[in-house]
Structure 1
Amino acid sequence: MAKQPTTPLRVRAPSANKAVNKAANPAANKDAPLKEDIRLLGRILGDVLRDQEGDAVFEVVETIRQTAVRFRREADVQAGTDLNKLLKKLTREQTISVVRAFSYFSHLANIAEDQHHNRRRRAHLLAGSAPQEGSVAFALEKLAHAGVNGATVRKFFKDALISPVLTAHPTEVQRKSILDAEHDIARLLAARDLPMTAKERAANTELLRALVTTLWQTRLLRYSKLSVEDEINNALSYYRITFLRELPALYEDIEDEIAEQFPQRASSAHANRDQHSYVQMGSWIGGDRDGNPNVNAGTMQLALARQSTTILEFYLEEVHALGAELPVSTFLAGVSPEVQALADKSPDTSEHRADEQYRRALIGIYARLAATARAHGATNILRKEVGPGAPYESAVEFSADLQLLVDSLKERHGTVLIKPRLAPLLRAAEIFGFHLATLDMRQSSDVHERVLGELFKRAEVETSYADLPEQKKVELLLTELDKPRLLYSPYIDYSDETNSELNILRAAHHIRQRYGSRAIRNYIISHTETVSDLLEVLLLQRETGLLRPDTDVASVGEVELMVIPLFETIPDLRLAANIMEQVMAIPKVRRLIAKQGHLQEVMLGYSDSNKDGGFLTSNWELYKAETELVNVFNRAGVKLRLFHGRGGTVGRGGGPSYEAILAQPPGTVNGQIRLTEQGEIIASKFSNPEIGRRNLALLVAATLEASLTPPPADRKAAKKLAEFESVMAELSELAYKGYRNLVYETPGFTDYFFSATPIAEIAELNIGSRPASRKATRRIEDLRAIPWGFSWGQCRLLLPGWYGFGSAVEQWLEQGENKAKRVATLRAMFKEWPFFVTLLSNMDMVLSKTDLAVASRYSEMVVDRKLRNSIFKRIVGEHERTSSCLTLITGKKERLANNPLLARSIKNRFAYLDPLNHLQVELIKRHRAAMRDGKVDDRVRRGIHLSINGIAAGLRNTG
């Protein structure tokens, strides 16, 4: 194996014959191109640093880098001492330059790794390798071997809904300007894999140098607070980069793979393409107002207007391009009467196109799209239409016009003309409509209670609604739902909160009328704890026209908003099945569920349950809640769709989505799944189009496998699963006590957390429109789960992803008489139970990124030495126990033994994270000391924020 590179900021130029050398030596180290790309980008960054900051700064960065590499890779103790001295000597200006240099290296290393993943996948395809695990082809092959037939697979895709939902949580630390530049760098880096002349390669290098210079001269951080509008625009950039083209392309890939795996119906499958959109995008950005005072009716309307403008601009570009690509003449190939009718309605009367009916039809379609865009708020149509057209009433009409073109071409030897652009455009219209993505609404149950309490009181129905027992609340709500009159009166003054909430619901009604019912379909209730929490939202919908009293009238598909409970904390998860059983027993609710196609969604919160009960207990309580919900829904004859509120990090329920879906309890997926994509993970997964398509394919493949893989038929397997679940319940109880004891019962732990992590500095960052805490307190209970996990990642402890496991396993092993037998049981669980395998795999990854030596530097910021030593000693002890127990169960002493690529990636990048962590500690010390003296040094604070960005980029899915 080639020696690991140790000088990414200053190395020799790569060979101009890279592609040739790789082809000539197929046995070469498969990671060699990755190392070469990192060398190249590191060398360019070093050149830019020297050019922009001067030789002196370059030499300082180089010395720090070399010392850090020696300390990290060679375990040189003296190097660690030297590194500390070097960092403490830095001036304020030098500190900022060093932080920026190492932060940008983390970003560039990520680009190189993403490009290498694409390269390796292409190498597998070129070599004709068997389908890789996680691909749809692999899933189809696996199902075919298990006896699942093509008809079953096709029915799955007809009925399925797989929905990634983008959210704007405050851990996305990248600006759009940075993302755009990095996207261009990735494109140029990919181009270097193609054969190039020396001149072409030199030109490519110069363009890379220009982009890295642009990065260096572009602010990594925002100087002003991010607004909801900014968050909306940032999210929309991923549609332009990835979703608009890659989702239709994914559908095409899947159709081809189904036809290949089940060839008996290949021809009919392509002739009668199923138009059901089984992958649909969702969003919370602009509609999620839980704890975010900046979200209101206006932001929701803005979100849909921006979304609609984005998709309509895309359609206009594609229709214009189609017009240029389809100059088919009726003198040579005819058109259907339907297309002729479209052409006849077109505003185009040019005699030069008298025989080009497809082109004339498309000019008419363009005119109608332009009118639609204006009706939906667009003010700047890039290319003016030839003449006026009537706006489309719905996206269905637009799809129907495109389908007429498809049918006509098919019938007249033009099938080959459909695939390049027309087919993807038609598929895009079916997926995205005129709304682009379904916008979810979310609010906390206590807000609904206050609003209804005021409405009841002002209407003289009930003066103290909030004080009523639960059963009385339910009776009152059901009675009110049956009454034809409203509680609200336009002649009464209400509080700002009540007016705001009612206006939001009225805006939702208007949005659905304007953009279609798919624009807003779901209303999520945070902190659902009772049956009345769901009924309250139904009554509020009735008050604003979203729920009609004649609930049996509307047809399936044109239904009211689905009311979705969100169970977040450990106690809430334990109540979930019972609450849903009671709710579904109410006749009025059952009629609504029937109109929803006998389907009801339930959302489960990963982040809050983890903060509440710890990693092990959170995962187990989620598993139990899902299993109990399946049983309740099966008894009720209702189909369950679970919405997984997973965070980006393992401590927030993250980790690889493919493994997570396969690890779900039997019967919980069933072709229906929604899951959140949060914060920094959105950029990681979807800022590169090819990787974005692969991540979408992973969701489809996992849902397909989890839904259709036949369960084990033997009773022995069921008995063993029951035994495994019993053990897990005991481990969970022990882990819960250990975690709660540290976080919520240890005096001074809150002070330790606020001192030993950069939580206060994270709260100052302009990385989200939502405050870091639900209330203006230092209570951990009030702190949002996302900044809680983010803070532990910054100080390299990543405590929410592992704490409690080791002590739980140790205690459980000691409780039985036969310890060896208990160890064998745990090993069997790891070998045979997907849930436990995924749990330990995620924990293994987190532990591989945990660094106690770095974390100890952060603990030094705790002024109370006794408190510092006491708590850090407990954390270190639990870390040792957890690592030891993980090794005992898996048999692997080294972390990530089963994932050597990730292990190498972590080893390579951590030498460049160490200086950032050490500098962050120094900067925080300076900042807090200045704050105590009533002074604020903006340069120091900016340096802290830059370090947060760099560390998050380096840690990626655990940052």
Structure 2
Amino acid sequence: MLGDQPLRRDIHLLGDLLGEVIREQAGVEGFELEEEVRRLSRTRRAGDATAEGKLRTLLEGLGPSELRVIARAFTIFFDLANLAEDRHRVRVLRAREQAAHPGPRPESLVEAFQRIRAAGVSPEAVRRLLQAFAIEPVFTAHPTEAKRRTVRGILGRIRAILAELDAPDRLPREREELLRRLRAELTTLWQTDLTRVRRPSVMDEVENGLSFFVRTLWSLTPRLYREFQAALQASYPEIPDPPPLFLRFGSWIGGDRDGNPRVTAEVTAQTLRRHRQVALSLHLQQARELFVALGVSTRQAPVSPALAQALADAEARWPAIRERLSALSPYEVYRRWISVIAWRLEQTLAWDPMSEPPPEGAYRSARELVEDLDRMWESLMAHRGARIAEGLLWDWRIQAQVFGFHIARLDVRQEARRHAEAIAELLAAAGIGVDFTRLPEEEQLALLTETLPRAGSIAAQANASPETAEVLAVFRLLRRAAAAYGPESLGPYIISMARGAADVLAVLWLMSAANDLSEPPAFLRVAPLFESIGTLREAPRILARILAWPLYRAHLKRQGDHQIVMVGYSDSTKDGGYLAAAWALYRAQAEIVRVARAYGVTLTFFHGRGGALGRGGGPAARSILGLPPDAVAGRLRMTEQGEVLAERYDDPHIAHRHLEQVIGATLLVSALPSPEPQEAWMEAMEQMSEAAYRAYRELLEAPGFLTYFEHATPIDGIEQLPIASRPPRRRPERRLEELRAIPWVFSWTQNRHLLPGWFGLGSGVEAFVRQAGPAGWQRLEEMHQRWPFFRAVLADAALALAKTDLGIARAYAELVPDPAAREAIWSRIEGEYYRTRRAILRITGLPDLLEDIPWLKRSIQVRNPYVDPLNFIQILLLRRWREQPEAEELREALWLTIQGVAAGLRTTG
């Protein structure tokens, strides 16, 4: 099996070349300073008790420019090391596949179908599963990607060079040329600003998100479909037909207005137009490439009469294409037909359906393009051209069906309070003398139902405030977009911080009010987002109430009785701590499934996961396999956020592996759902969850906690970090409740506490064992061995603990000016860390954290000596910057350390 020698070779090469660049760009003194910092940090980790004092004394004596050189050197080194690790991951995957041949590689689609067949699942059951099968990763612009797009571009070129260096037949002169290019890219990277000087606009974020589709997903998706079909037919030859479309993509970028005033109706309109432009441009590129490749002549193979007739009809209908076709051979019918398609795509690209009538020949929908491609497909298949069709046309047909003319479905999200405030304003302006926001829920539901048929006239009477006018403008835009671009261009309307059934009905009311409709249009799918411990506990009751309400149920019936429910991992963890949130999410999903089944409603859960371990992060496949029985049933929606986007989708090989694992895990958990957990396990989780929740809330509500958080973390620097258009707080109040979960987790990650990923678990376990007695540990061991959910909970917590470093964390704690508050909070954190560590090791039977994943344990150990200096520099800069908050040089150096620590830990928020 492939060892880690190639990885060490790459890191050594990149480190040596970076050293050359540092000598050139920062001078020998800068290089030697960085090397001395690195030496002291390594000896500190090796156990030298004096090294930390020497290191911190050295750093204290440096000015901002010298600290920036060191921070830049370590940050760039981590970016390069991450590339090398990703490259080695690709090597390992290929080596495993080669070793497994002719058998399937682990966690592949072939293996998933083989396991399903071996378990005795019938072809008819698989057919039913495939009819419902639907996976939709949804890209978001949540502010956790600290890298600039420019930097990502440089790193992408370096990644490509590393891949080229791997070629076994590389000539010496070719290697030298690659090294020359590598030095040039590294020099460019050193001379490039690693941090932004301004916040990106929303449209900057839209372009950033679309780059993943253009570079990776457009070409990767057809390959996944091809592999899926081959894997299915290998295990189930009784199902010869291709599976229905199951993989699509969504986006929040440009539609997520929850607390982000920069996402306006006009910005959402621009986003939809940009999605359309990118999709059409990619289709046009496919047409031009296929035109070159497909030179089949009717003198060698005939074409179908249907295709010949369609071509003749096109020439007769659109005289504008005759000149273009006159230059082509009359025998090359496929090229002539592709020319017609290309011309129609050009006409479509030049047209904005939101504001203009269609020009001659423009496609009204992607369905028309698919029909034109199918004419070619059927002709080739009927005239000995199956290999040509499958080799040259397959990809484009899949792309046309998956990406359409919209590339990704755009979700819209807004906070429930904003809807309620808008309705209250409109009702008051119409003389309906109640404060809608203060009514009990039953009265809100009754009032919304009674006034919905005249909501349009109510809104027309009002002189709406700018905030309410903007809410109405969004709903008007959605109706226009559905008519112009097709409902398939839009995802669900998501209600964040949903607390009751009235929050769902409010969306229908506002859509009717904005567009003067007697009932909301059928395309409007409403997805409540439950994201606090309280609302997750209440979610089954809330869903039952809304499904029982006649007005909403009639609306849902027009959508095939299909309901999307979103569950939030980030805010629930911020609200109640790691274990309580994990259990609240699991229990809510299990009970919501029963509610939906009772009402005859099909359900899709939308998982609002973040990248960090305190926000539902961790391996996606493991998380899917740990979901409750029947909570997936072939349908899965999940967010892909922040740094996860670049980590999972920048490299096509890693993107393929990630999506393959997600698809395979969804198949397995749907076809072979785990059995219902034992009642005793559920009771144990309930007891542990309650105790963990109490421990976590006691920490947050302890005197001095807010002081500790604001001083012992770099939250003030993170709030000013220009990494996203969205503000770090939902509302400007300086309350912990208004702070978003992302900067919360980001801050605790930077200072090496990582407590959102584990705090409370130890207290929960100890409380349960005290009550259960000696048999308690046996029960927990049994749960770990037999319950995928509990195993995933412990595995993610173990990883968070392994990345936690109490020595570095204690150094951050010294920034807290109040000694009493510092020691009181620190003692709680330190005590809970050791309780949680002991509990995990006792339950898993492992001698140390991550002992069962040695490569990951070693990766963390190898990285620590290089992350530590960045932490010490950050602590120093925080102290100086807080004394001189106007010092821009200090602030920018601080931002650089934040980015460096994120790269070193491979996680942000």
TM-score norm. by structure 2 comes to: 0.96
Q: Mark the CA change 1:795 to 1:547 in structure 2 (over 3 Å): closer, same or farther.
A: farther
Q: CA deviation at 1:591?
A: 2.2
Check if 1:55 corresponds to 2:11. Answer: no
1:615·1:801 contact (CA, 8 Å) conserved in 2? yes
Counterparts of 2:332 and 2:615, CA distance in 1: 57
Counterparts of 1:729 and 1:48, CA distance in 2: 56
**Which runs of structure 2 are paired with 1:933-944 in the superposition (5 Å)?**
936-944=886-894
Q: 1:408 aligns with which of 357, 362, 379?
A: 379
Check if 1:747 corresponds to 2:721. Answer: no
The CA RMSD over aligned residues, in Å, is 1.8
Q: 1:904 aligns with which of 838, 858, 864?
A: 858
Determine helix, strand or coil for the equivalent of 1:440: strand
Q: CA deviation at 1:351?
A: 4.6
The answer for the alignment partner of 1:173 in structure 2 is: 146
Paired residue type of 1:427: I
Counterparts of 1:631 and 1:463, CA distance in 2: 36
Counterparts of 1:300 and 1:548, CA distance in 2: 25
Q: CA deviation at 1:66?
A: 2.3
Determine helix, strand or coil for the equivalent of 2:245: coil
Counterparts of 2:246 and 2:351, CA distance in 1: 28
Paired residue type of 2:699: L
Counterparts of 1:547 and 1:651, CA distance in 2: 43
2:712·2:813 contact (CA, 8 Å) conserved in 1? yes
Q: Mark the CA change 1:155 to 1:211 in structure 2 (over 3 Å): closer, same or farther.
A: farther
Q: 1:341 aligns with which of 278, 291, 309?
A: 309
The answer for the alignment partner of 2:318 in structure 1 is: none
Counterparts of 1:524 and 1:378, CA distance in 2: 23
The answer for the alignment partner of 2:805 in structure 1 is: 851
Paired residue type of 1:212: L
Check if 1:666 corresponds to 2:620. Answer: no
**Which runs of structure 2 are paired with 1:535-546 in the superposition (5 Å)?**
535-545=505-515
Paired residue type of 1:635: A
The answer for the alignment partner of 2:76 in structure 1 is: 104
Q: CA deviation at 1:460?
A: 2.5
Counterparts of 1:650 and 1:337, CA distance in 2: 59
Counterparts of 1:605 and 1:351, CA distance in 2: 58
Q: 2:410 aligns with which of 439, 453, 474?
A: 439
Aligned residues: 896
Paired residue type of 1:956: R
Over 6 Å off, 4+ runs? none
The answer for the alignment partner of 1:17 in structure 2 is: none
Q: 1:791 aligns with which of 747, 756, 765?
A: 747
Q: Mark the CA change 1:524 to 1:883 in structure 2 (over 3 Å): closer, same or farther.
A: same
Determine helix, strand or coil for the equivalent of 1:698: helix
Determine helix, strand or coil for the equivalent of 1:667: coil
Check if 1:359 corresponds to 2:335. Answer: yes
Tell me the alpha carbon deviations over residues 467-508 of structure 1, each in whole angstroms, 9 at most, x when there is no partner.
Answer: 32222211111112345863221x642111111110111111
Determine helix, strand or coil for the equivalent of 1:521: strand
Check if 1:255 corresponds to 2:229. Answer: yes
Q: 2:42 aligns with which of 47, 65, 69?
A: 69
Q: CA deviation at 1:463?
A: 4.0
The answer for the alignment partner of 1:507 in structure 2 is: 477
Determine helix, strand or coil for the equivalent of 2:730: coil
Counterparts of 1:757 and 1:909, CA distance in 2: 21
**Which runs of structure 2 are paired with 1:330-729 in the superposition (5 Å)?**
330-344=298-312, 345=314, 347=321, 348-376=324-352, 390-483=361-454, 486-489=457-460, 492-545=462-515, 549=519, 559-709=522-672, 711-712=674-675, 721-729=678-686
The answer for the alignment partner of 1:383 in structure 2 is: none
Tell me the alpha carbon deviations over residues 843-883 of structure 1, each in whole angstroms, 9 at most, x when there is no partner.
Answer: 01111100011111111111112211221122111111111
**Which runs of structure 2 are paired with 1:166-315 in the superposition (5 Å)?**
166-195=139-168, 196-265=170-239, 268-269=240-241, 273-274=242-243, 276-315=244-283
Paired residue type of 1:655: G
The answer for the alignment partner of 1:769 in structure 2 is: 725
Q: CA deviation at 1:377?
A: 8.5
Q: 1:894 aligns with which of 822, 831, 848?
A: 848
Counterparts of 1:416 and 1:356, CA distance in 2: 18
Q: Mark the CA change 1:150 to 1:123 in structure 2 (over 3 Å): closer, same or farther.
A: farther
The answer for the alignment partner of 1:23 in structure 2 is: none
**Which runs of structure 2 are paired with 1:811-890 in the superposition (5 Å)?**
811-816=767-772, 818-819=773-774, 821-890=775-844
1:246·1:693 contact (CA, 8 Å) conserved in 2? yes
The answer for the alignment partner of 1:329 in structure 2 is: 297
Tell me the alpha carbon deviations over residues 670-721 of structure 1, each in whole angstroms, 9 at most, x when there is no partner.
Answer: 1111111111111111111111111111211111111110554xxxxx5x61
Tell me the alpha carbon deviations over residues 341-360 of structure 1, each in whole angstroms, 9 at most, x when there is no partner.
Answer: 34332512335422111111
2:708·2:816 contact (CA, 8 Å) conserved in 1? yes
Structure 2: segments with no counterpart, 5+ residues: 316-320
Paired residue type of 2:690: E
Check if 1:119 corresponds to 2:87. Answer: no
Paired residue type of 1:850: T
Determine helix, strand or coil for the equivalent of 1:263: coil
Higher deviation after alignment, 529-538 or 609-618 = 529-538
Q: Mark the CA change 1:561 to 1:211 in structure 2 (over 3 Å): closer, same or farther.
A: same
Q: CA deviation at 1:421?
A: 3.6
Counterparts of 1:675 and 1:456, CA distance in 2: 36
Q: Mark the CA change 1:441 to 1:619 in structure 2 (over 3 Å): closer, same or farther.
A: same
Counterparts of 1:930 and 1:349, CA distance in 2: 70
Paired residue type of 1:570: I
Q: CA deviation at 1:366?
A: 0.5
Determine helix, strand or coil for the equivalent of 1:315: helix
Q: CA deviation at 1:465?
A: 2.3
Q: CA deviation at 1:920?
A: 0.7
Paired residue type of 1:665: P
Tell me the alpha carbon deviations over residues 779-823 of structure 1, each in whole angstroms, 9 at most, x when there is no partner.
Answer: 21111111000000000110100011112222222224x32x111
Counterparts of 2:177 and 2:638, CA distance in 1: 43
1:438·1:520 contact (CA, 8 Å) conserved in 2? yes
Counterparts of 1:945 and 1:484, CA distance in 2: 49
Q: Mark the CA change 1:378 to 1:202 in structure 2 (over 3 Å): closer, same or farther.
A: farther
The answer for the alignment partner of 1:735 in structure 2 is: 692
Tell me the alpha carbon deviations over residues 171-202 of structure 1, each in whole angstroms, 9 at most, x when there is no partner.
Answer: 11111111111111111111222121111111
Tell me the alpha carbon deviations over residues 643-696 of structure 1, each in whole angstroms, 9 at most, x when there is no partner.
Answer: 111111110111111011111111100111111111111111111111111111
2:611·2:644 contact (CA, 8 Å) conserved in 1? yes
Determine helix, strand or coil for the equivalent of 1:620: helix
Paired residue type of 1:733: E
Paired residue type of 1:783: L
TM-score norm. by structure 1 comes to: 0.91
The answer for the alignment partner of 2:735 in structure 1 is: 779
Q: CA deviation at 1:337?
A: 2.2
Q: Mark the CA change 1:132 to 1:352 in structure 2 (over 3 Å): closer, same or farther.
A: closer
Higher deviation after alignment, 584-593 or 394-403 = 584-593
2:533·2:581 contact (CA, 8 Å) conserved in 1? yes
Paired residue type of 1:737: R
The answer for the alignment partner of 1:142 in structure 2 is: 115
Counterparts of 1:355 and 1:188, CA distance in 2: 43
Give identity over the alignment, percent: 39
Tell me the alpha carbon deviations over residues 515-559 of structure 1, each in whole angstroms, 9 at most, x when there is no partner.
Answer: 11011131111111121111111111112349663x7xx8xxxx3
Higher deviation after alignment, 823-832 or 409-418 = 409-418
The answer for the alignment partner of 2:761 in structure 1 is: 805
2:607·2:638 contact (CA, 8 Å) conserved in 1? yes
**Which runs of structure 2 are paired with 1:40-51 in the superposition (5 Å)?**
40-51=13-24
Q: Mark the CA change 1:126 to 1:621 in structure 2 (over 3 Å): closer, same or farther.
A: same
Counterparts of 1:31 and 1:152, CA distance in 2: 43
Q: CA deviation at 1:938?
A: 1.4
Q: CA deviation at 1:261?
A: 2.0
Counterparts of 1:181 and 1:731, CA distance in 2: 47
1:846·1:958 contact (CA, 8 Å) conserved in 2? no
Determine helix, strand or coil for the equivalent of 1:773: coil
